Structure 1
Amino acid sequence: MSYSGSYTVKALFAAVSLLALAACSSEEASDKADDAQRIASETIIIDTHIDVPYRLNHEWEDVSAATEKGDFDYPRAVAGGLNAPFMSVYTPAQYDGTPKAKSHAEEMIAIVEKMAADAPEKFRVATSVADVEKAFTDGIIALPMGMENGSPVSGDLANLDYFYERGIRYITLAHSKSNSISDSSYDVTRQWNGLSDFGHEAVKRMNELGILVDISHVSDDAFWQVMEIAAVPPIASHSSARHFTPGFERNMSDEMIRALAAKGGVIMINYGSSFITEEANKYGPARDEAYLKYIAENGLTDSTDLKEQFEKGYMEDNPFPYATLDDVLDHIDHVVKLTGIDYVGLGSDYDGVGDSLPVGLKDVSSYPNLIEGLMKRGYSEEDIKKILSGNFLRVWRTAEAYAASH
């Protein structure tokens, strides 16, 4: 009788303790979520790669209001605390070497300018750190611009000066194909074995002007040549760690990440699932291989309609393996372990990677999720703010100071 009573008391005590722990855990989680929202609201958040202009060029939407499509609009940006999304002035590789390259870039810039002109109380074009800080103080979203693909430069250094005046503050030297500046990580043709002679001159002129050199998309050889000649820390505006995607040259190896940090630069983590996990990275090639096997075995002729039909069925049988918030955090952790806290930031590629964004990071309202995840992994508030903008702003200020002295 006494033993049974003692056991019951112990069981009750254990149950009460578990309930108390659960309550504390729930309260702690709530506190972290509240802190994440606070940090997002009081900190400049810079995302160095958002493909809104190309999306709007394809199909115009008023992103100053809520939109049904895409990953970015004003209400979602405000909810996420996003203050300075770099608008990607993207030029497809098919325009390389043609007058259309420059005119297309001008069209993309005009879209950003229209966004700001149509809703000046919400958006403002920004061309300097001071502009970003002023817009933040004024409660307006700054729209700095980066050029994705250097093909609009068209082999003429004078065009670097021109696009600087138009507001471009970084240039991704190449995109999916080798161009007049650099070889591409995606292009098996390595016509320059890195940078062209013009590319060497372009890097130097970009430094003099205050245009950041972006090594996302370039070949490994081009990366190492940039490291040798750059007088200002370069950036990787939307790349991730190759450690998690072996053989994927578009991401950066550990050696490259260390070298970029040694130069003072930053790697801005790309959210696309194929950049984040090996499983997602191999999904596309496996699907394409299955398609080729399918048409060969059935004596069919390749066509766009046939491929779309096959891919739809393939995805039903083999769902896409989306990365998660934790997978993205793993990339940040990896860079920090390699280099320290001062050399990593965010370059999501929102509106640029289609329906491949990680669970928990599906649009620009989700930065508080990332912040909360960083807090749970033990990052201090000071370190989180470096990731959100401090590290990139340091590099941008360095570029501005160098340009002012040259």
Structure 2
Amino acid sequence: MRTTHARVLSVPLLGLALLSATTQATDATPAARKLAQDAVIVDTHIDSPTELMKQWKDLGETQSGEFDYPKARAGGLDVAFMSVYTSPGQDDDGSAWNVANRMIDAVDSLALRHPDKFAILRSPRDVDRLRANDRVLLPMGMENGAPIGDDLAKLDFFFQRGVRYITLAHSANNRIADSSYAAEKRWKGLSPFGREVVAEMNRLGMMIDVSHLSDDAARQAIDLSRAPVIASHSALRHFTPSFERNLSDELAKAIAAKGGVIQIPFGNAFVDPASAAQTQAYFVAYAEFERERAAGRTTKTVAEFDADWDKAHPPLPVGIDAVLDQIDYGVKLVGIDHIGIGSDFDGVGGALPQGLKTVADFPNLVAGLQARKYSDADIRKILGGNLLRAWTAIEAAASR
């Protein structure tokens, strides 16, 4: 998720009775665990590189976070897109380029340190070959186009380094596009440079990611692209009507019509209406706090503001059904071939539904889908088949 200053939002507590019932209802069955291990599971958004910038951890071994090799294998995860996230602040101070390259170095080092456990994935054609012997594959997605600055040639540079999608903007307008979070939109969609970025990404075979974009920017990117586009971690606005960060029905249909995929996240703030409302309230309060700071009317620091907010707004328990409801609605809206998963693990500060707390929990999601009468073939599509199909089509469009 990542907000403007790289924190995650929490939400108020409810009673625990529903939580307990939901947890019991989604315990993975042997059939669910078997399918999770056999299917190709692709998660398009895991924020572990940001955590590695805070403190190095060997993710080849069991760690305290939401992604590591033992947890991935327990959950059946095969393809884990590592998110190369840079903030609007790093865009402003010119450090985004260095931060992005350090994150890529960290992902590379995992594969070099543990060639028996990890491999860098650059093409969907290589999935079956590289995942042999229980490897977890690590393609990369860039969350925020800030590291390319205003230099189109840097797209090819990052493509050569293994970046296979770019989320054009994040929580603030940038040189490429307007953000869904920005109160004032700078470009009314894509910038002129952003239009060139879309064309160059098409040429390279790099996936265009419209998560985090304003409605106008997402619509323009979809219209301009010669290839399918993805939403790497976007839920559906049907459940959160005033939350622009989630996709409207119109935009979801446009992504599907282009052959793309909507990757449903797990974070409470995306999938749960009350949590989404709390997220929006936070942004309003934070904007007012920034105005107070600029006017010299408060000496409170950002850390103090966040601590006070979290104390007043403790987390709200959310059940796995919130994610399953999103998938159900998406399938009915755009069809089984256009829905996937982009968890946002390690990116939402643990604000995740019960039963989906780490990458080890994918069997719980499978069990929930089986309980809702999805066929195993359709579950395979949601778990990864749809994303791999779209990625293959994007590569083919580039070769043409």
Structure 1 counterpart of 2:75: 80
Residue 320 of structure 1: how far off its partner (Å): 2.1
CA–CA distance in structure 2, aligned partners of residues 48 and 310 of structure 1:
33
Deviation string 1:102-126 (CA, Å, 9 cap, x unpaired) is 1211111001001111111101111
Amino acid in structure 1 at the alignment position of 2:190? L
Deviation track 1:181-222 (CA, whole Å, cap 9, x = no partner) reads: 111111123111100111111101101101000000111000
What is aligned with 1:206? 201
Distance 1:119 1:247, change over 3 A: same
Aligned in 2, Cα 1:287/1:252: closer, same or farther, shift over 3 Å? closer
Match of 1:302 in 2: 300
Query: For residue 314 of structure 1, what is the aligned residue in structure 2?
Result: 312
Q: Does 1:67 align with 2:63?
A: yes
Of 139, 146, 157, which aligns to 2:152?
A: 157
**How many Å separate the matches in 1 of 2:307 and 2:187?**
39
How do residues 124-163 of structure 1 correspond to structure 2 at under 5 angstroms? 124-163=119-158
The one-letter code matched in structure 2 to 1:53 is P
- Deviation, structure 1 residue 285: 4.9
Is the contact made by 1:268 and 1:347 (CA closer than 8 Å) also made in structure 2?
yes
Give 1:301 deviation, angstroms.
5.5
CA positional deviation for 1:258 = 0.9
Q: CA deviation at 1:402?
A: 1.4
User: Deviations for 1:128-168, whole angstroms, at most 9, x for unmatched residues?
Assistant: 11222212233211100111101111111111111111111
Matched letter for residue 302 of structure 1: K
In 2: Cα distance, 1:119 partner to 1:65 partner: 10
> 1:331 aligns to what?
326
Contact 1:272 1:349 in 2 (8 A): yes
- The residue identity in structure 2 corresponding to 1:310 is D
Q: Is the alpha carbon distance of 1:303 and 1:374 closer, same or farther for their aligned partners in structure 2, counting shifts above 3 Å?
A: same
For residue 114 of structure 1, what is the aligned residue in structure 2? 109
Structure 1 residues 3-402: aligned runs within 5 Å: 33-68=29-64, 70-96=65-91, 99-286=94-281, 302-304=300-302, 306-307=304-305, 310-311=308-309, 313-315=311-313, 319-402=314-397
Q: Match of 1:96, SS? A: helix
Contact 1:76 1:363 in 2 (8 A): yes
% of aligned pairs identical?
47
**Cα distance change of structure 1 residues 290 and 30 upon mapping to structure 2, 3 Å threshold:** closer
Q: How many Å separate the matches in 1 of 2:301 and 2:172?
A: 24
* Structure 2 contact 240–276 (Cα < 8 Å) conserved: yes
Distance 1:76 1:166 in 2: 26
Structure 1 residues 202 and 44, CA gap change in structure 2 (3 angstroms): same
Deviations 1:350-388 (A, max 9, x none): 000112111110000000000000000010000000001
**Which of structure 1's runs of 4+ aligned residues deviate more than 6 A?**
29-32, 287-293
Aligned partner of residue 103 in structure 2, secondary structure: helix
Q: Which has the larger radius of gyration?
A: 1
Report the AA paired with residue 400 of structure 1.
E
Q: CA deviation digits over 1:270-300, x for unaligned, max 9?
A: 111010111111224557889989xx9xx98
CA contact (8 A) 2:268 2:353 kept: yes
Distance 2:138 2:170 in 1: 22
- In the TM superposition, what whole-angstrom CA distance separates every residue of 1:29-63 from its partner, at most 9, and x where no partner exists? 99971111111111110000000111111111111
When you count helix as a share of all residues, which structure comes out higher? 1
Code of the residue aligned with 1:56 in structure 2: it is: L
Q: 1:300 to 1:86 in 2, by over 3 A?
A: closer
Aligned residues of 1:44 and 1:136 also touching (Cα < 8 A): no
Q: How many residues align?
A: 369
The offset of 1:96, in angstroms, is 1.7
Query: How large is the RMSD of aligned CA atoms in angstroms?
Result: 2.2
Q: Taking structure 1 as reference, are residues 35 and 259 closer, same or farther at Cα in structure 2, changes over 3 Å only?
A: same
The whole-number CA distance in structure 2 between the counterparts of 1:208 and 1:305 is: 43
Structure 1 spans left out of the alignment, 5+ residues: 1-28
Distance 1:332 1:268 in 2: 9
1:313 Cα deviation from its structure 2 partner: 3.9
Relative to the length of structure 2, the TM-score reads 0.87
> Structure 1 residue 227: deviation in Å?
1.8
1:122–1:140 CA contact under 8 A, matched in 2 = yes
**Maintained 8 Å contact 1:244/1:277:** yes
2:171 maps to amino acid: S
Structure with more relative contact order (C-alpha pairs < 8 Å, separation 6 or more) = 2
Q: Once the 2 structures are TM-superposed, how far is the Cα of residue 303 of structure 1 from its aligned partner? A: 4.0
| CA 58–340 in structure 1, closer or farther in 2 if over 3 Å, else same | same
Q: Distance in 2 between matches of 1:98 and 1:287?
A: 25
- What is the rounded CA distance, in whole Å, between the counterparts of 1:209 and 1:275 in structure 2? 31
